[in-house]
Structure 1
Amino acid sequence: MNTTASLHVTPPEALQPTPIRIAAAGFAPGESVRIGSRLVDDAGVTWAAHGDFVADSNGAIDLDSAPSEQGTYAGIDPTGLFWSMLPSPLADRNFMIQATERSHKMGVPHFDPVKTINVELTAHTGNTLRARATVRLTRLVDGIELLPVRDGRLRGTVLRWKDRSRPRGAIMSLTGSGGGVEMGYAPLLASLGYDVLSLAYFAYEDLPRGIASIPLEYFEEGFQWMQRELRPTRIAIQGASRGGELTLVLASYLPEYVKGAIAIVPMYTSSAGWDPAQGVAGPSWTFRGQDIPFAPSNNLRSLVDMKRLGDEAPYGYPATPGYRADLDRPEVRANAALPVELAGGPLLLISGKDDQMWPCSWGSDRVVDRLRAKGFAHPYRHLALDDTGHLTPTPNTVTSLSRAVFHSLANVFLACGGSPAGTALASRKTWDAMVEHYRIVFGEPAIKGQPS
């Protein structure tokens, strides 16, 4: 390796959403340099990206300002070497369909969710390696214990700060239609200084297999557990997709517990219940023995049709038209809209304008219309993201396969929408909005100086 050239990463280790600056120096002016990134996930799959750059008059390349002429991404994009990674061999939909790991079915590397991710960076001229560097993306900072929750019928995982000398805010994090425990956002939220309970509610251990007639009292027990075990200053909740729907349901029906909420790609109503074996039928949620009103799924295809059409379409089955037809009926607006104006704290809704799984941006606008009409007493915001679909990852995450997912329970190839580059760009706006929202709900983070 020629030691006159160098690669610099700033900072070399940081919480995953932190902006990372990559720069190279020591090349000849005008020299063509390929800068690449590489990681190996826990399943042994190699993911890699690269861009071809031209050194400036000082022999330097700064990815904040230098365009990639070609590669796995093109143009000026400081995060391109993170989001444009592809698995090797080159992925097509069969990589996701045939995957055994749920992460791979979602089109992202498979890692222990609290493990630090090591990304190797290299600079080549021709076939010659000129420089290398490593960046370590931390998912969970020191001082947090990860504990299983099995208390009565409650199931989940808590990320709890060991230092109990002062109170802090607590967040309940909820998964979407894939079930299990939510561990995409949870470790990062805990790293900001909050206690986080990732509460499973279906498709986990001895919990129900599907989302059907799940009592809100289960989550009420979860809030009471948080009050008893974590003693938080306040409780907030967040979730994405069906978890975003559930977030608005809980904020509306249990405002005495929920003092802030982030609903990510949600809908303005409750949806029909869903079971991977039986399909769509009945309510998703009940409360005090009564069904939560929901939008019947008259225009959604059967799972058999979804699978067939998903296999034929280039980016999977687009469910949005069917959902929109169901949700735009006057009787649904009149009878099934969630009473979000009853929420007990600030609300943040985050949507992708090109969501092909369901019309979350349109639905979030309906929520805002209702809040405005009802004179909602707390701050609220709808962050609608351009060139973004159903997936809203955190920054410095792989998004190269984000146009679709292979649903791990339904075994259907589903369209998500957006573009990989647009989804990556929106991830920064999403994370910054989330951090700011929790500052509003809880005050300053318990840890000073954490990246936002």
Structure 2
Amino acid sequence: MWRVARSARPLWLVPGRGAASVSVSPAAGLADERVETRVSGLGAGQAVTLRAVAADDGGRLFQSCAHYWADGLGRLHLGTQPSRGGDYTGVEPMGLFWSLAPAAMESPYRRLVPRSTRAPMKVEVLVHQGHSAPRAIPGPVVAKALVERWFAAPGVRRIRLKEGGVRGSLFLPPGDGPFPGVIDMYGDEGGLIEFRSSLLASHGFAALSLPYFDFEDLPKVMKELKLEYFEEAARFLQRHPKVKGPGVGVIGTGKGAELALSMITFLPEVVAAVCISGCSSNTVADLHYGEMTLPGLRFDMSKVNVSDDGVFDTFEALDDPTNPANSPCTIPIEKAEGHFLLVVGEDDRVWKSPLYAELAIRRLRQHGKENFELLSYPGAGHRIDPPSTPFCQAAVDRVLGVPVRGGGESKAHAHAQIHSWGKIQEFLHLHLG
């Protein structure tokens, strides 16, 4: 059962009227699950601001707001009635969640992403009198409710790994299994990022969250990588008694997507790869596998643009993969026997992921291959995460230590996250049996 800290209930009265209340259903559920938010007990046509407030693992505050008018019966339903202003407009049932951004007193350019999946993200939904601008002091509170957003369903098991050279966390769904197995990786953030793995396990996958630098005894920086590490992880997952087999899948974002391409190309254990905002060439760190080496495309920092507010735009900085001099960096994906799902945001500003997906598809077709699907989203940025993950157009990069523009527009990006998450699960279920 979900554990709810306290239930949603009316707490204040609208002066001169009956009790106003806000309900969010479910009050506790998975973080990728849609909720229904309703307000009642308002005056006919009353103007209100709905606001959401949450804190990250370090206690930093995030908030969002939207302007609404109650209907003729003093009711409001975010699933059918539009926001007229604030951080988003239109009918957006989950707008308060995906538009959460650092509060005015906090440092900007921070992502609201959990480092731990063992506790829920608690989001307080408040109803204020009148319309107040984002980041301005809102009117009096007339009702509020607390919502718990969990990253693992009841019964999901988390097993920390120190298996040979492999590090990370294995998430197993409840039940006897066996389950389709998936390796999950992110990019140059480094460390262990678990929330997508735990959500995949909540939807029936045995998911291995796999760090590859800056974690425990792994290298602190990403200077060079050995594919043998990823091969060991794939073999471990493939042979696990709870994993269905015969092959496993991999999902990666950014550098993780590029590694997913290399894994499905060179490792027979990997039969399906979801590549989100990746490059079709090896980048930054040389990749070794036995006697083979794929050199990494380099970033030319002289091509980085810096805005007046100190945000770095790296869009033009990566070496051109179409330059014949860079052909040794190209991942020979035509050798892969498995299937690819390429996911890109057409407004990605970290690098040219739509172009890189086009190059990958062109290479496959030149070799008579049609073992791919492409999901390309207008208005979406670089990091396309599970649904309702708050949009962040620019975030501090752990390697550079400065804010880097990810691109995208909040509403289009949020819709891309919703659509792609369902398609990713369909793809993995199809190709992992």
Query: Given the two structures, how large is their TM-score scaled by the length of structure 1?
Result: 0.84
CA distance in 1, matches of 2:242, 2:63: 44
The alignment covers a number of residue pairs equal to 408
After TM superposition, the structure 1 = structure 2 runs for residues 168-247 of structure 1, keeping only pairs within 5 Å, are 168-234=179-245, 235-247=248-260
Name the amino acid aligned to 1:301. Answer: M
Conserved? CA contact 1:391–1:423, under 8 Å: no
CA spacing shift, 1:377–1:427, aligned 2, 3 Å:
closer
Provide the residue aligned with 1:116 in structure 2.
Answer: 120
Q: Which residue of 2 is the match for residue 250 of structure 1?
A: 263
Q: 1:34-183 residue pairs with structure 2 within 5 A?
A: 34-91=49-106, 94-96=107-109, 104=110, 107-108=111-112, 112-126=116-130, 127-161=139-173, 163=175, 165-183=176-194
* Structure 1 counterpart SS, 2:431: helix
Once the 2 structures are TM-superposed, how far is the Cα of residue 248 of structure 1 from its aligned partner? 0.3
Contact 1:47 1:109 in 2 (8 A): no
Choose the corresponding residue for 1:358, options 323, 342, 351.
351
Native 8 Å contact 1:258 1:343 kept in 2: no
Query: What amino acid is aligned across from residue 289 of structure 2 in structure 1?
Result: F
**Residue 373 of structure 1, aligned match among 366, 371, 374:** 366
Report the equivalent of 2:384: 392
Q: Is it true that 1:22 corresponds to 2:37 in the alignment?
A: yes
Distance 1:315 1:426 in 2: 28
Partners of 1:348 and 1:437 within 8 A in 2? yes
1:346 Cα offset (Å): 2.2
The alpha carbon displacement at 1:169 in A equals 0.9
User: More relative contact order in 1 or in 2 (CA 8 Å, sep 6+)?
Assistant: 1
Q: Letter of the aligned partner of 2:171 in structure 1?
A: L
Alpha-carbon deviation of 1:245? 0.4
Aligned partner of residue 190 in structure 1, secondary structure: helix
> How many Å separate the matches in 2 of 1:41 and 1:422?
24
User: 2:157 touches 2:172 (CA, 8 Å); kept in 1?
Assistant: yes
Would you say the 8 A contact 1:171–1:236 is kept in 2?
yes
Structure 1 residue corresponding to 2:272, chosen from 260, 265, 284: 260
State the one-letter code of the partner of 2:276: I
- Alpha-carbon distance between aligned partners in 2 of 1:377 and 1:328, rounded to the nearest angstrom: 21
1:171–1:196 Cα contact (<8 Å) kept = yes
Structure-2 separation of matches of 1:250 and 1:257: 9
Contact 1:30 1:57 in 2 (8 A): yes
SS in 1 for 2:418: helix
2:73 and 2:343 map into 1 onto residues whose CA distance is 42
Change (3 A) 1:53 1:182: same
Paired with 1:109 and 1:243, the residues of 2 have a C-alpha distance of 17
Matches of 1:200 and 1:439, distance apart in 2: 24
What do the CA deviations read for 1:295-315 (whole angstroms, capped 9, x no partner)?
4x3x6116xx85xx54x4446
Matches of 2:255 and 2:412 in 1, distance apart? 22
Richer in helix (by share): 1
Structure 1 vs Structure 2 CA RMSD: 2.3
AA paired with 1:300?
Answer: D
Q: How many Å separate the matches in 2 of 1:58 and 1:349?
A: 47
- Structure 1 pair 5/258, CA: closer, same or farther in 2 (3 Å)? same
Counterpart secondary structure, 2:217: coil
Q: Give me the whole-angstrom Cα distance separating, in 2, the residues matched to 1:116 and 1:331.
A: 49
Q: Deviations over 1:253-297 (max 9, x none)?
A: 11x101111011011111132xxxxxxxxx2x11112212544x3
Q: What is the CA–CA distance in structure 1 between the aligned matches of 2:91 and 2:121, rounded to whole Å?
A: 24
Q: Trace 1:400-415 onto structure 2 (pairs within 5 A).
A: 402-415=392-405
Output the CA distance in 1 between the equivalents of 2:378 and 2:227: 33
Alpha-carbon distance in 2 for matches of 1:66, 1:203: 46
Aligned to 1:327: 321
Aligned match of 1:318: 313
| 3-state SS of paired residue (1:271) | coil
> What whole-Å deviation, never above 9, does each CA across 1:333-382 have from its counterpart, x for those lacking one?
x543322222232211111111111111110111112222322263x211
Alignment correspondent of 1:439: 429
CA contact (8 A) 1:270 1:336 kept: yes
CA contact (8 A) 1:15 1:138 kept: yes
Give deviations 1:84-126, integer Å, cap 9, x for gaps.
22333345xx444xxxxxxx4xx32555234212222122325
CA–CA distance in 2 between the matches of 1:190 and 1:109? 18
Distance 2:389 2:164 in 1: 36
Aligned to 1:100: none
Give structure 1 stretches of 5+ with no counterpart.
97-103, 274-282, 444-452
Change in 2 beyond 3 A, CA 1:346/1:114: farther
Instruction: Give, in angstroms, the shift of residue 68 of structure 1.
Output: 1.9
> Contact 2:281–2:331 (CA<8 Å) still a contact in 1?
yes
TM-score by length of structure 2 reads 0.87
**Which runs of 5 or more residues in structure 2 are unaligned?**
1-11, 131-138
Q: 2:399 & 2:145 partners in 1: Cα distance?
A: 39
Pick closer, same or farther for the CA change 1:162–1:31 going to 2, 3 Å.
closer
The amino acid of 2:323's aligned partner reads R
Percent identical among aligned pairs is 26
Contact residue 114 and residue 187 of structure 1 kept, 8 A: no
For the 8 Å contact 1:170–1:230, the answer to whether it is kept is: no
